[in-house]
Amino acid sequence: MKSKSAFWAVVVASLPVLLPAAQPPGEPVLLRTALLVKDAKVAARFYELLGFRTETEMDNPRKPEGNFFPLNAASTRTRLLIMTSASGEGGRIGLVEFSAPTPADNRIDARRTGVGDAVLVFDVTDAEAIHVRLRAAGADIIEPPQIYMSKKTAADGSPMRGRVFHVKDPDGYLIELLEAPKPLAAQTPAP
């Protein structure tokens, strides 16, 4: 009987370590990132190339007068596509299209990224394969995959490296595609 109670004492003592930390009541949780886009269908086709699929689609009238959303146009239509990764893991992307009329672009230079701009970072297993897929689709690729050396080392102490490249989506949002570092011995040479 003593060993049974000792077992349960260990189980109960381990619960805080085994269970995920509870969210403090009232604390915000990021639901999704919403991107204002010119054409939600065109933007969705780009994110489909990254393995996302449309989870929800809504097309609604919008009443500009008395609407508190700080839009720079009196748009009367809203389309929202919520996209999720094919695996269901990671965050969701909301593609929000306002129309009739379409809001103006606030960016001074769409080729440069600055304060107030978003950078979406995607974890990819094969940066080279994603690069080939995006290039074949005519995406606005900033540079081909670059090799980076990680500060982490493999279990045997050997160096690790990954690959990273950047692309602009159809609306000019900067996308970073990051292949996690792997031990050098486990990688094939870059083409």
Give pLDDT, residue 114. 84
Asked whether the CA dihedral 118, 137, 96, 58 is positive or negative, the reply is negative
Joined tokens for residue 51: 């393995």
Backbone angles phi, psi at 127, to 5 degrees: -60, -40
Where does residue 18 rank: exposed (0-12), middle (13-18), buried (19+ CB within 10 A)?
exposed
CA-based nearest residue to 33, from 98, 94, 82: 94
Residue 142 lies in a domain: yes
For residue 101, cis peptide bond before it (omega within 30 degrees of 0): yes
117 shares its domain with 75: no
Give pLDDT, residue 186. 58
Count of domains observed in the chain:
2
Of residues 87 and 13, the one with the higher pLDDT is 87
Q: What is the CATH number of the domain that holds 88?
A: 3.10.180.10
pTM: 0.79
- The predicted-structure confidence for 17-72, as pLDDT tens digits, reads as follows 444 556 667 889 888 999 999 999 999 999 999 999 999 999 999 999 988 889 99
Of residues 47 and 7, the one with the higher pLDDT is 47
d(CA 177, CA 130): 8
Give pLDDT, residue 184. 80
Give pLDDT, residue 189. 57
114 shares its domain with 184: yes
Locus of tokens 């060993």: 3
Give pLDDT, residue 111. 79
